[in-house]
Amino acid sequence: MNRPPSCHRIRAALSRVLLPILVLGLLSGCSSLGYYGQLASGQLQLLRARTPVAEVLADPTRDPTLRAHLAQSQQARDFASRHLHLPDNRSYRLYVDIGRPYVVWNVFATPEFSLNPQTHCFPIAGCVAYRGYYSQGAARGEAALQRQQGMDVAIGGVEAYSTLGWFDDPIISSMMHWGDERLATLIFHELAHQRFYVKDDTQFNESFATFVEQEGTRQWRAYRGLAPQDNADVRQRDQFIQLLLDTRQRLERLYALPLPAEQMRQRKAQAFDRLRRDYRQMRDSQWAGSKRYDAWIDQPLNNARLLPFGLYDQWVPAFAALFKQVDRDWPRFFLAVEKLGRLPAEQRKADLLKLQTAFAEQPAPAPDL
């Protein structure tokens, strides 16, 4: 190659997915060299700090609680490959203590009157809907710059990400704040990204991994002889997400109207006010006053704060329908997912919509007697 590729081809973003920064040397002349520098530095620090989990478990001087959590994680890791047919490699058999609550902070940005995310593209991963930083301060700085340009902005902390099999991804201390089951679900989710990934389709990738996480956790609980997850918790989560998706649809219809900016701004605020009212009504009438989502709903709301929900959840019912179609057989399911992923984008979306409709039309399960 006689000259470096154009900058637009090597702008990347981090979500739960981070590609190896092997192309950093090709960045000469790009304005965002500092951004890629922090990506490379952050990833290299993780690689250098990795310790085999087996060594931590064998070290009596290490914290007993840490060792107990890691022991449980390895049982979930074995289950992921043996029963869920996820990749069997050294990922999540290594450990890193990063000394902070999140490994990466993602910056989401949208125009004021649009739910289309600001995307960042990378030759291998394709285009993704966020930009990631290993420093919270750097993420806040980027968010401030985006706000100055009139964008709606949100910052979200990330506990883990996948390098799609390019590196042996470690268990990170940020993954362990939610207990053993949450750690297992993260392992299932991130290994799903290694199992299959479609360039330029974040909604497909994250919904697929989220389904594997949810179904994998259900099977993991059954394997250990535990009762299914509390139906009330699952119902509340699903109802809350549906509220947010309904709000997205209302906003999309609003932004398609030819309204003056001030009127559009007023009606946008009204849509978010309705979201809060609907949430509180549902919480008080159906959840016995449970306040599990109060902190989220009480923060300032904008387009960017809704982005992760559409990205992570939109096609989960479609994948659930597909799993049922193949008689809940994981190898057949992954083959069917790969077939979907190879379709042109519009055909893939159409097939997912058909699966989504099939899922919605399924009769409710009979109550236990």
Mean pLDDT of 76-87: 98
Q: How many CA atoms lie within 13 A of 207 on its CB side?
A: 23
Q: Does the pLDDT value for residue 14 go beyond 80?
A: no
Which is more confident, 51 or 18? Answer: 51
Give the sign of the dihedral formed by CA 173, CA 178, CA 183, CA 186: negative
- What band does 232 get if pLDDT is binned at 50, 70 and 90? confident
How far is the C-alpha of 228 from the C-alpha of 111, rounded, in Å?
A: 41
Query: 106 near 158, Cβ under 8 Å?
Result: yes
How far is the C-alpha of 339 from the C-alpha of 332, rounded, in Å?
A: 11
pLDDT above 90 as % of the chain = 71
Mean pLDDT of 288-315: 90
Listed residue (107, 106, 110) closest to 248, CA to CA: 110
Q: How many CA atoms lie within 13 A of 80 on its CB side?
A: 32
Query: 134 near 104, Cβ under 8 Å?
Result: yes
How far is the C-alpha of 333 from the C-alpha of 356, rounded, in Å?
A: 16
How far is the C-alpha of 80 from the C-alpha of 286, rounded, in Å?
A: 35
Q: Does the pLDDT value for residue 8 go beyond 60?
A: no
Query: 199 near 120, Cβ under 8 Å?
Result: no
Q: Give Cβ neighbours of residue 148 (< 8 Å, ≥ 6 apart).
A: none
pLDDT in tens, 164-209: 888 999 999 999 887 899 999 999 999 999 999 998 888 899 999 9
